[in-house]
Amino acid sequence: MPEVPRLSAEQRAGALVVAIAGRTARAHARADLKAGRISLAELLDQARTDEQLASMRVPALLDALPGYGKVRAAALLRELKIAESRRIRGLGPHQRAALLQRISQAAQSRS
């Protein structure tokens, strides 16, 4: 079994700052999505270049959508055959397109 790397106090502090920045960026993105300040398509486009957003899990992303909770998000993931452990960066082009199409259809039917 490989040995766990030893980090100096400065390295650990730096890693902590990076981790906090990532969690904060993902929380802001979820809040913007929930409030309607950003669309799902815009967030997915931003995640192509923003590594912090790309590391967000898809179920957390769906939970932030208005009208979606854990149960509805899990049902949608099962229907689209997307693993619950999938991160945004791991979505393939077909999965991404199917997700956007399904979310836009649901939004139109509620309107």
Q: In the chain, how many domains are there?
A: 1
Q: Which residue's structure tokens are 């999505």? A: 33
- Asked if the structure places residue 1 within a domain, the reply is no
Give pLDDT tens digits along the chain (111 positions).
Answer: 778 788 899 999 999 999 999 999 999 999 999 999 999 999 999 999 999 999 999 999 999 998 888 999 999 999 999 999 999 999 999 999 999 999 988 777 766
Domain boundaries, position 106: 9-110
Domain with residue 42: its CATH number is 1.10.8.50
Interacting residues of 91 by C-beta distance below 8 A, sequence separation 6+ = 44, 58, 82, 99
Considering the domain boundaries, does residue 70 fall inside one? yes
- Residue 3: inside a domain, yes or no? no
